[in-house]
């Protein structure tokens, strides 16, 4: 009985050490930071037709080259008519990036091409500001886990994945089957434009 009481007292004493311990100033935030950058470019169309005005496609190509568009970027099209958005989506298809349409946004006569990019910033490691004296709170130093987060920030292909995983749909088999059905029907084998992420082709 005496041993049981002694063990219980030690357990209570040890658990009390962790009560009310707050994060100290030396436990700096060693997490990576993900920011969102947005780039906009307007493509003007003539007389409401499906063809862009002269020089507009060249300006669009220059815009995409300047921002160095690539993997991980997403594109949205707003404004204009469905035919104008489809024409731009067809032009952007070789980039092999997700293209979404938002018909209710933007202005008539021009299609706004918006590129959204996620940028990750690695934490700054090597912080030795915590004093080396006794630490009764037994708090972690500012460098604990920093190198792991910094390495992850440097290795990730698409920083947006750090905010949340990709959807499992559509499956590869569904996309391939859709392309085959369209090919057999004499239609374009690929879905060119998604309407607001609904997964359907814009009508």
Q: For position 47, which CATH number holds? A: 3.30.1330
Residue 172 lies in a domain: no
pLDDT digits (tens, 9 = 90+) for 86-102: 889 989 988 888 888 88
Mean pLDDT in residue range 191-202 = 42
Predicted pLDDT of residue 119: 92
Burial profile 151-163: b = 16 or more Cβ within 10 angstroms, e = fewer: eebeebeebbebe
Confidence of residue 61 (pLDDT cuts 50, 70, 90): very high
In a domain, 153, yes or no: no
Does residue 136 lie within any of the structural domains?
Answer: no
Domain-located, residue 2: no
CB atoms < 10 A from the CB of 30, how many? Answer: 21
The rounded distance, in Å, linking the Cα atoms of 83 and 199 is 18
Q: Would residue 111 count as lying in a domain?
A: yes
Residue 115: what pLDDT? 95
pTM above 0.75, yes or no: no
Residue 45 lies in a domain: yes
Domain contains 89: yes
Q: Using the 8-state DSSP alphabet, how is residue 151 labeled?
A: H
How many domains does the structure of the chain reveal? 1
**Is residue 93 assigned to a domain?**
yes
> What percent of the chain stands above pLDDT 90?
22
Average pLDDT estimate for 149-173: 81
Q: In the structure, what pLDDT confidence band is assigned to residue 42 with cuts at 50, 70 and 90? A: very high
HSE-CB at 135 with a 13 A cutoff on CA atoms is 16
Output the pLDDT for position 188. Answer: 58
* Residue-number span of the structural domain to which 78 is assigned: 33-121+158-166
Task: Give the model's pLDDT for residue 80.
Answer: 87
Cα Rg of the chain, angstroms: 27
Q: Give the residue-averaged pLDDT of 162-172.
A: 73
Least confident of 112-116, 119-123, 172-176: 172-176
């Amino acid at each position: 009985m005496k041993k049981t009481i002694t063990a219980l007292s030690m357990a209570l004493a040890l658990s009390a050490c962790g009560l009310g311990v707050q994060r100290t100033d030396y436990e700096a935030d060693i997490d990576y930071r993900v920011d969102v950058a947005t780039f906009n470019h307007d493509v003007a169309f003539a007389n409401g037709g499906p063809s862009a005005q002269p020089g507009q496609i060249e300006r669009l190509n220059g815009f995409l080259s300047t921002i160095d568009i690539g993997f991980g970027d997403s594109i949205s099209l707003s404004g204009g008519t469905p035919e104008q958005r489809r024409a731009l989506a067809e032009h952007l298809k070789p980039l092999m990036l997700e293209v979404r349409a938002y018909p209710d946004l933007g202005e008539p006569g021009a299609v706004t091409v918006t590129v959204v990019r996620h940028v990750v910033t690695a934490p700054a490691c090597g912080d030795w500001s915590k004093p080396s004296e006794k630490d009764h709170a037994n708090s972690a130093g500012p460098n604990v886990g920093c190198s792991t987060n910094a390495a992850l920030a440097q290795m990730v292909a698409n920083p947006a994945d750090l905010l949340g995983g990709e959807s499992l749909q559509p499956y590869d088999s569904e996309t391939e089957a859709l392309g085959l059905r369209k090919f057999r029907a004499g239609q374009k084998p690929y879905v060119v434009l998604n309407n607001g992420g609904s997964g359907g082709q814009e009508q």
